[in-house]
Structure 1
């Protein structure tokens, strides 16, 4: 039940422009809290958490996570919708009595979805995403705590987020990050990179046989509640970088300048490469070492284990003994934030939208290696970055001491502003 709004007398706070919450609907119109629906992948969850942080709600957020059974036959079932996967897993367990011999491949174990699963992001416990529980919480606490902001990212979160919107539309504002491929009206807002609409371009149409085009999504241009970005959302802004610079001062301040930070991902569906790119990278790094004061090399956690080991061995063998080069061994603490804060120049493999987005948010020079090996929508992504002057191809002929700049990529803040506007259209606002 919403509060009754009485006419305001002349000279009242409302007529003067300063409106206390109680005269503006109280908690009914103020968003003070957020729920993040995660899928267990750091790159996806980082986008949702980054947006919540940009909106000033990081102190009032709750993280729920959707988990799938893993191991054995489950690795072949990840293409199924997560709810159906879990039901099928339950049936298999009932039939075979959880027999590891019958439903697991040799040497593998079946892992049930945990109820406390926050280890991957440093939390002791993350609640398992449950539509009924979240909807009940949104409705029962609405009168006391106001509307609930729900932010989800990744394919497995689509059904959960859309169900919350359907069952509690008057109590929630749902933001889905990454394109859900169809039925965009299931959400209040969809946030997705521009290159997700690459299939609609003439270039993409020429690459797809006519009889397959109707199966390629998205099929329609973005509507009014789709917010387009250049890259991925994240948690990096100038305040974060300032704090990281202080936290990592003792380790990074003594390093000779300029500092070149090298971030290596791994081959993906749209950017395929193997040891040949590692050899190209090693040769090019040898060529630029004379213009570098220091080089720090890191591998991302999502780098495929086999590819990571092969590439890491090659790089360690060729560069590990050079006094200018430091290669992170993968042990804690992760120097990623220190690298972002202290680097003078970045070199990033072309496969990772997240790594490139974070590097480009600093306004510092970013070189890319392997972009010519990318296909489909990744071609469009790299094209956008080049057009904005944010990245340049890495050839090995660069003088790292020469700097250049550009307006930093600010997707997360831009989307946060769009959320403010969308909430205002509903008569809601964010807690200042």
Structure 2
């Protein structure tokens, strides 16, 4: 359990199953709200996880030994993300007698009215008086965070020419497949833009990219002005975003595309094999809004004003907290 402090007497819990993509979204919102917060990771066991999240009997009995404790005193604000966090958010709301303001990020897959506020992405198509949609996933990207990360990693990339292109590569998951053919094509395209346009490349693969695909990338870029993260040094992800003039990103992660678009820089999306309705709607909405364009082997230049979903939702939370405080007074 991690604790983050501020000078506010009220407090907040961030409750998630501990998956990075979910936790980062809830933490981003907690940071924007500004209350001191604790991160609580819940890892429930079967057979509870087979049940709909709104219908768990005795959810505390489901907690595994590697879970954080869910116990009084209850927080003023609870921000949850992930289906398996839902039963614990609802439990805390009941145990606090409704004193805890509950906010769920993404689709809770239960009654929306069970929460004080639900913040799903637009492609979830949720509607209700307590629903505030985001254009994409919530993120922790701020101008200050990018500037600090850029300053930290600038010495590692100072030998690369400008313009600098950050290349964010995900990989295969339950929806997409990064095939050897796709990575070979991408490696060739990256090589071409280096040779034809004199750009520098700052490449950050992920664990999902796979060792053979990474080997293909390294071989194609070995004699070019390119840096490929080795997974051993500090993660340069935010630094590369802050330093880049342009960004290329694979389509398999909503969070990764959203974070790239938070920079206001041109974001070129590499499409992988696969997809589903939600991903397709997400990418279509990002293209239509002018945030992204498909990567077809050429770099383009355009500008846009990034959406600020985190601030919008944080403002709504502050309104709810004020209303609850006034009603108690």
TM-score (norm 1): 0.67
Deviation (angstroms), 1:243: 1.9
Deviation (angstroms), 1:232: 0.9
Aligned to 2:34: 56
Gap runs ≥5 in structure 1 = 1-29, 91-111, 116-127, 139-146, 198-220
Q: 2: distance between equivalents of 1:87 and 1:166?
A: 13
Q: 2: distance between equivalents of 1:55 and 1:157?
A: 20
Deviation (angstroms), 1:297: 1.2
Deviation (angstroms), 1:322: 2.3
Runs of 4 or more consecutive aligned structure 1 residues displaced over 4 Å after TM superposition: 81-84, 86-90
Q: 2: distance between equivalents of 1:268 and 1:297?
A: 20
Gap runs ≥5 in structure 2 = 1-7
Q: 2: distance between equivalents of 1:54 and 1:313?
A: 39
Aligned to 1:294: 200
Report whether the alignment pairs 1:332 with 2:254: no
Q: Deviation digits for residues 22-74 of structure 1, max 9, x if unmatched?
A: xxxxxxxx8732111121211110011111111122xx2111111257xxxx8
Aligned to 1:364: 265
8 Å contact from structure 1 (residues 153, 177) kept in 2: yes
8 Å contact from structure 2 (residues 77, 101) kept in 1: yes
- Which of residues 374, 383, 390 is equivalent to 2:275? 374
8 Å contact from structure 1 (residues 260, 292) kept in 2: no
Residues 287 and 177 of structure 1, relative CA distance in 2, 3 Å threshold? same
Report whether the alignment pairs 1:343 with 2:244: yes
8 Å contact from structure 1 (residues 241, 341) kept in 2: yes
Report whether the alignment pairs 1:137 with 2:73: yes
Q: Deviation digits for residues 61-89 of structure 1, max 9, x if unmatched?
A: 111111257xxxx8xx89635979x9999
Q: 1: distance between equivalents of 2:251 and 2:9?
A: 38
Q: 2: distance between equivalents of 1:89 and 1:172?
A: 22
Deviation (angstroms), 1:428: 5.5
Q: 2: distance between equivalents of 1:293 and 1:46?
A: 31
SS of corresponding position for 2:98: coil
Residues 344 and 169 of structure 1, relative CA distance in 2, 3 Å threshold? farther
Which of structures 1 and 2 has the bigger CA Rg? 1
Aligned to 2:212: 310
Deviation (angstroms), 1:182: 2.2
Deviation (angstroms), 1:408: 1.1
TM-score (norm 2): 0.86
8 Å contact from structure 2 (residues 83, 109) kept in 1: no
Q: 2: distance between equivalents of 1:177 and 1:408?
A: 20
Aligned to 1:160: 88
Q: 2: distance between equivalents of 1:371 and 1:249?
A: 30
8 Å contact from structure 1 (residues 262, 297) kept in 2: yes
Q: 2: distance between equivalents of 1:357 and 1:345?
A: 14
Residues 420 and 366 of structure 1, relative CA distance in 2, 3 Å threshold? same
SS of corresponding position for 1:409: coil
Deviation (angstroms), 1:287: 2.3
Residues 170 and 68 of structure 1, relative CA distance in 2, 3 Å threshold? closer
Residues 339 and 376 of structure 1, relative CA distance in 2, 3 Å threshold? same
Residues 88 and 182 of structure 1, relative CA distance in 2, 3 Å threshold? closer
8 Å contact from structure 1 (residues 37, 129) kept in 2: no
8 Å contact from structure 2 (residues 178, 272) kept in 1: no
Q: 2: distance between equivalents of 1:343 and 1:385?
A: 20
8 Å contact from structure 2 (residues 178, 273) kept in 1: no
Deviation (angstroms), 1:274: 2.1
Aligned to 1:33: 11
Aligned to 2:301: 403
Aligned to 2:147: 242
CA RMSD of aligned residues (A): 2.7
Deviation (angstroms), 1:235: 0.9
Residues 322 and 68 of structure 1, relative CA distance in 2, 3 Å threshold? farther
Aligned to 1:80: 50
SS of corresponding position for 1:47: helix
